[in-house]
Structure 1
Amino acid sequence: MIEAVRRADNEDLAQLSALAAMAVGEQAEARGGHVWSNREAISIPADSVLASCLGDPEALLLVGTIDDAVVGYARARIEGLRNGERLGVINDIFVMENAREVGVGELLIETVVAWAVERGCSGVDATVLPGNRQAKNFFETAHFTARAIIVHHRLVDGGVHAGDDVGTDGETSYR
């Protein structure tokens, strides 16, 4: 089994769009996923967003493969900070469930980090939804640490959503 990463090209776009839909679908119902999937996540269908990365020198679109079969992807960009520093931002990183924990995700993230270093970035950011321990552990293994927590108060039905889960400890879990 040979794991590899390469830059995406036009011929990959349909497959990557399908992977993007899988990635968003996997997270949309998770804790925090409702707002994330409607705000930060890639728009589905993703074809035009993915295609725009191909000719953009400030964007990176990668394909992760096992034995030349596409099983994952990463999409990243460079952002300028107010102090003049540059920040790498991982917009998407996804590996199909049956291809996880064999090294494709690690190759994707290592390639993104190396790309950010080459472009003079001072760091790399990525988003992990609360409760996604597998993703949190993946990023921590790659030496990422939390630098912010986004909190949210859902305002539906007078501030209380009928679907909120209130645990026995009194804590409320919001989508």
Structure 2
Amino acid sequence: MPTVTIRPAVEADCATILRFVRELAEFEREPQAVKATEEDFRREGWGETPVFEALIAELDGVPVGFALTFRNFSTWEGRSGLFVEDLYVTPDARRYGVGRKLLAAVARRAVERGCRRVDLSVLDWNPARDFYGRLGFRHMEEWMSYRLTGDAIRALAESDADEPAAG
């Protein structure tokens, strides 16, 4: 049985993280949607004000997956949490418990930091939904995700440019 190791990502892992992001986008049927570069990951993960952390999973010393997280905040809990932006394990490594070990490492970070929850999103057709359920993640059926991107962000930002901010 191969040895699975989970370790914190380091700046030298940026190319590996980008490769995994591209493989995940391919799996999610949106390979053209990835605009990130190695420099983006370097700046946002290891720059002056890091906004994410990542864990790298290795199988006998070879990277086979990653989990990328960032902090969020619950006003109801009054505590921060961790949001799993991406979790990816290469198809050949999935039978070795790599995903479970990655999420266990995320959970340990959450506990160590006093986080009250770990959140993630998953596509409705993704068979990993059963995996998350077996680990104890609860599908939040009553919550629906919304997203504002690109020109829509700009349009909204400019729509009230002459009006004072509420507050």
State the TM-score bracket (shorter-chain normalisation).
0.7 to 0.9
Q: Percent same amino acid among aligned pairs? A: 26
TM-score, length basis structure 2 = 0.74
> After superposition, where does 1:155-170 map in structure 2 within 5 Å?
none
**Is structure 2 residue 121 aligned with structure 1 residue 127?**
yes
Structure 1: segments with no counterpart, 5+ residues: 153-175
Count of paired positions: 141
For the structure 1 residues 106 and 141, does the alpha-carbon distance in structure 2 shift closer, same or farther, using more than 3 Å as the test?
same
Structure-1 residue corresponding to 2:38: 47
TM-score, length basis structure 1 = 0.71
Q: Which of 76, 80, 85 is the matching residue for 2:69?
A: 76
Deviates more, 1:92-101 or 1:142-151: 142-151
* CA displacement 1:77-118 (0-9 Å, x = unmatched): 111222422121000000011111211111100000110111
More helix per residue: 1 or 2?
2
**Is structure 2 residue 111 aligned with structure 1 residue 111?**
no
Between the aligned partners of 1:49 and 1:146, the Cα distance in structure 2 is 31
- State the Cα RMSD in Å: 2.4
* CA displacement 1:38-78 (0-9 Å, x = unmatched): 6xxxx433424432224667632110110000010000111
Structure 2: segments with no counterpart, 5+ residues: 147-167
- 2:6 partner amino acid: V
Structure-1 residue corresponding to 2:4: 3
For the structure 1 residues 57 and 66, does the alpha-carbon distance in structure 2 shift closer, same or farther, using more than 3 Å as the test?
same
